[in-house]
């Protein structure tokens, strides 16, 4: 399943965030598609695929002590549009 995460942190935690990024290891079962940094600071976006809830947890839990993660399951619009007829009333 695809997820778009938006991570935010307090500016005072910048150095801790940079340390985390330097040590970050992508767990098995996670395929990072792309990542972006907000140039105005304190926000990071990442699009990735998680094979399981265990992989998802292994990827996000190590960050839970220093940032807030808003995680949203997403799919491409073309795939979503194919699902709509199945749920039309």
- The domain locations on the chain are 2-87
- Give exposure, 38-65, as e/b (b: 16+ Cβ within 10 Å): eeeeeebebebebeeeebbebbbeebee
Instruction: For the domain covering 2-87, report its CATH number.
Output: 3.30.70.1060
Phi, then psi, of 48 in degrees rounded to 5: -150, 165
Q: What is the pLDDT of residues 51-81, one digit of tens each?
A: 999 999 999 999 999 999 999 999 999 998 9
68 close to 7: Cβ distance less than 8 angstroms: yes
Look at residue 84 and tell me whether its pLDDT is greater than 90. no
pLDDT of residue 45: 97
The percent of the chain in helix, strand and coil, each rounded to the nearest 5, is 40, 35, 25
2 close to 73: Cβ distance less than 8 angstroms: yes
């Amino acid at each position: 399943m695809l997820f778009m995460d938006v991570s935010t942190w307090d500016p005072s935690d910048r150095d801790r965030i940079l340390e985390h990024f330097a040590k970050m290891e992508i767990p098995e079962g996670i395929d990072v598609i792309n990542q972006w940094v907000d140039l105005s600071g304190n926000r990071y976006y990442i699009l990735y695929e998680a094979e399981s809830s265990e992989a998802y947890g292994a990827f996000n839990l190590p960050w839970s002590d220093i940032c807030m993660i808003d995680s949203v399951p997403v799919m491409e619009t073309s795939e979503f549009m194919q699902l709509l007829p199945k749920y039309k009333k």
